[in-house]
Structure 1
């Protein structure tokens, strides 16, 4: 339940709660990482609001009135949550603080009205370590505003790329926030394909959905994969957006390698032996950072290979749910279904006009995505609140997982039929942040149990 937080300009050093909150013996109010002593009283006349005197609100650095959740500990009444969204690439413009990504973040932050609490955007330069505050970007009815607030209750990592995430500065900052301040960070890292495969391959429930994969790319493994599966993909373990992928085939003892050049054109090279193909790959790519994966003959739409992007999110109860499903149809002559390779997005209604067939596919994709999400949780050492899966359905109807992304792209939501799904995927991270905040405040030991 959320309460309307009202700021009283007349009283002093007091927080007034509805009797339904059942506060008992608390002697302080808290907001984010900040806690201040004050008088806590209950009122039988209040139902859906809490009243904070202006001096307490000022000492807590509450930026404005809003709908909030109330969490109780033995010592304090906590208001919020205060959710920090960590990113990089800030500009000097208050109207577009992170350039072209500002629109996405504005949509995300606007969801705080539905979810309750406060959410803001920040980067490492905005942290004042000496005072334990952040000068963050809030999105309000008036547009973007900056307010200085305490360090947040929870952090949602939306760093834009691996290079920034792996920098020593960001590693140090996120480590300090988690260990020194006890602030949980979710979706803290981009996924590595080989690490994900190894973790899931050890989980019996996930095994049936994993194509054969190896991180040891040699002449022998290329020969083994192509002899057994006829086709394989070689792709960067830390790649995204379909960049740097090679499609290998073997037909009549001839080896073929297809890839995209820097202009986005598909190029094809033919080799007489696996050794020659391997040498070509060695000169073209850092194979020690790549994996080789079994290619699956995908179902087709209008003769083009098709797979599915399935988003899952944890909700306000900390439970996984499917938030979006869309089909991705490969572009002409493309080696993948990615949109930047000419792929197009369709809704399931568009490719499965038959209701029974569509519902069957929805049920099966939901089941696999939720199973894999739970397996991720059970094998992960970090907090995960959102995953974007690329799932394929082969010509026999079996479902396979090709990719899992901790920071899934947003390009599929340009499709007008996915507007509601788009809204769900920006609402649910904040809903999960509420759940995570409550746990961090009232049961911190449960975070890693």
Structure 2
């Protein structure tokens, strides 16, 4: 474990924030700080993220909560955060806007409630922003359906392209890619290719007729519609990649389309929210790390964090979250299971493996703490793996993250309802 290990005191999101002050040096002047988690549905990570968000907002002036949720879907949740929708609509909105049940744990919704309360009274209210492809790749419809009204106002003829795209996309739509991928595999290959071609033709028309679209509907409206379409295109490529993985025909690292889009969406928001915008970005560790995601000895994806690092340099900081023991959520695809097409296994964690960052915390005698890695190690020896769900992800940890926060034990949320 490198120098820069700091003990932390509280998981309670309402507790004083002084123990998080070592994060200030890690963050510096970065405009995007990503806060990860080694598994979804973990109570301790949700509470810790809430605390870190409070620190970033209250002490560092961050202005946006960006989440692993669809770009298109995120606008409704932003309206709720700003008080434009009734407070009691959060459960339904969170289910619609944040995919795969990630907002079902009470602690996540409490964090969103804190953002709403902050926005109601603060001089600089926090915004909510989605950065992902629609339904995390489960359906193109959340991005495509809003384009109908937009095109009716600026280019009705383009409906000839949108209508068949919607019809094909509806045939594969699910709540998650675990549901959608088997449906995509059942689709005739000619219809798969037709959907991809229709989306490409729509994108070309948006770009070619941009001056007309902007004159007819405004620059901001055009930008949102165009990026919704880009999200649908990335989701189409993502779904093709995941279905190919199921069938054993996928190209290496094919699922990178989603990661590229997420990184580009973070930059989309930075470009439009002004030079003072600072984004707290919440996504799985495997999305935010700077290094390729290697599993089974093969590169699976080039993650969002790698793309952001290349684009933003020192303006991007990645903070991973992990646990030494306890239990975790193992996710098992099963198209017929529950509302999302996967089963959640409440699994016991094995003791930390040698060489892991979790073993380094244990050996340093730190249960709940923060390790700040500082300047990149440039190949120096250090932890070479970090927990991911029920297994480990092999990566040079000090290259992948600027810091890692470790909790001694993790537990699976008890209120998922599936």
Name the TM-score class by shorter chain.
Answer: under 0.3
Identify, as 1 or 2, the structure richer in strand: 1
TM-score for the superposition, normalised by structure 1: 0.26
- Structure number with greater Rg is 1
TM-score for the superposition, normalised by structure 2: 0.28
Identify, as 1 or 2, the structure richer in helix: 2
